[in-house]
């Protein structure tokens, strides 16, 4: 039931809220690509829902020519999103806990919204347009960034909010040991980081027996540096849409999810 935007161009706006930037673009869902260059605005230092919502509205205002001002918008948040309410805040302001993100974005944008977890959105994009296309069975996408996000699929259907970055690894939360930000902050070599990833992905494959791992996040463009160092029984491949995945997946959800 893909909807067509008010402008009749079939483009849908996706907006991805991250710890450092809020990014949006109109997405061509026939091809799974941006129809125009994205707009990126810095995430406010105090990243409260209200402060972030104002930027989201500013990004959306930049694309009225492409998508109109009344068609559904997909928005991602780096948090558990339960029926439109954000329930966690690992790498954003604590005031997101129990915030009615759906109501807030609907109000500031003046149009229907679909709010979802950032990794779930990235996973949807990879499943439809990237590394997971046409892949049945259990597919587990992880995003390695500031934190670790996860998106779990069975035969293309998402099980939302899996939050596997918070599994325990060596006595700590996995994302505090193995996120891409940890590699940068601790200046770990690829080999040192891969040792941590090895333990993480081995744990994941023992728990879920996936048919495929997809590794996303900006660092996936350097996958050749670390994926060959991993010894897993599960096939593991880099994401194809890189940092565009959140926006594309959010737009996809806005046009396919009941609102």
Residues that bind ligand BGC (CB under 6 A): 78-80, 88, 90-91, 117-119, 143, 145, 147, 149, 163, 165, 175
* Least distance in angstroms from the C-beta of 79 to ligand BGC: 5
Instruction: Return contacts of 97-100, CB within 8 angstroms, 24+ apart.
Output: 99/49
Q: Considering the complex, state which of residue 131 and residue 141 has its C-beta at the smaller distance from ligand BGC.
A: 141
Q: Considering the complex, state which of residue 11 and residue 144 has its C-beta at the smaller distance from ligand BGC.
A: 144
* Least distance in angstroms from the C-beta of 149 to ligand BGC: 3
Closest residue by Cα to residue 214 from 196, 190, 234: 234
Q: Considering the complex, state which of residue 11 and residue 79 has its C-beta at the smaller distance from ligand BGC.
A: 79
Residue 202, class by beta-carbon neighbours within 10 Å (0-12 exposed, 13-18 middle, 19+ buried)? middle
Q: Considering the complex, state which of residue 114 and residue 119 has its C-beta at the smaller distance from ligand BGC.
A: 119
Identify whether the C-beta of residue 60 lies closer than 8 Å to the C-beta of residue 41: no
Q: Considering the complex, state which of residue 5 and residue 162 has its C-beta at the smaller distance from ligand BGC.
A: 162
* Least distance in angstroms from the C-beta of 66 to ligand BGC: 27
* Least distance in angstroms from the C-beta of 148 to ligand BGC: 6
Identify whether the C-beta of residue 163 lies closer than 8 Å to the C-beta of residue 148: no
* Least distance in angstroms from the C-beta of 161 to ligand BGC: 8
Q: Which DSSP string corresponds to 179-246?
A: SHHHHHHTT--HHHHHHHHHHHHHHHHHHH--SEEEEESGGGGGHHHHGGG---SSEEEE-SSGGGHH
Q: Considering the complex, state which of residue 20 and residue 30 has its C-beta at the smaller distance from ligand BGC.
A: 20
* Least distance in angstroms from the C-beta of 180 to ligand BGC: 10
Pairwise CA distance, residues 258 & 56, whole Å: 22
* Least distance in angstroms from the C-beta of 42 to ligand BGC: 17
DSSP E strand boundaries for the chain: 11-17, 21-28, 33-34, 39-42, 73-77, 81-82, 85-86, 99-100, 113-117, 138-144, 148-154, 157-159, 168-169, 172-173, 212-216, 235-238
- Is 175 in a helix, a strand, or coil? helix
Q: Considering the complex, state which of residue 26 and residue 249 has its C-beta at the smaller distance from ligand BGC.
A: 249
């Amino acid at each position: 039931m893909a909807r067509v935007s008010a402008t009749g161009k079939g483009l849908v706006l996706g907006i991805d809220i991250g710890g450092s930037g809020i990014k949006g673009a109109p997405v061509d869902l026939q091809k799974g690509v941006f129809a125009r260059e994205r707009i990126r605005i810095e995430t406010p230092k105090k990243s409260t829902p209200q402060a972030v919502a104002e930027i989201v509205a500013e990004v959306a205002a930049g694309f009225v020519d492409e998508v109109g001002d009344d068609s559904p918008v997909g928005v991602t948040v780096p948090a558990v999103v339960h029926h439109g309410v954000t329930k966690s805040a690992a790498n954003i302001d604590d005031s997101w806990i129990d915030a009615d993100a759906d109501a807030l974005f609907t109000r500031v944008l003046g149009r229907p919204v679909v709010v979802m977890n950032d990794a779930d959105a990235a996973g949807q994009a990879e499943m439809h347009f990237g590394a997971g296309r046409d892949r049945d069975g259990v597919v587990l996408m992880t995003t390695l960034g500031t934190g670790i996000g996860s998106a779990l699929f069975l035969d293309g259907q998402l099980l939302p909010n899996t939050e596997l970055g918070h599994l325990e690894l060596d006595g700590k939360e996995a994302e505090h040991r193995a996120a891409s930000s940890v590699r940068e902050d601790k200046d770990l070599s690829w080999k040192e980081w891969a040792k941590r990833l090895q333990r993480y992905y081995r744990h994941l494959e023992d728990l879920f027996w996936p048919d495929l791992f997809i590794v996303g996040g900006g660092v996936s463009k350097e996958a050749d540096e670390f994926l060959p160092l991993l010894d897993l029984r599960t096939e593991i491949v880099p994401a194809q849409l890189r940092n565009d995945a959140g926006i594309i997946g959010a737009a996809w959800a806005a046009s396919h999810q009941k609102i």
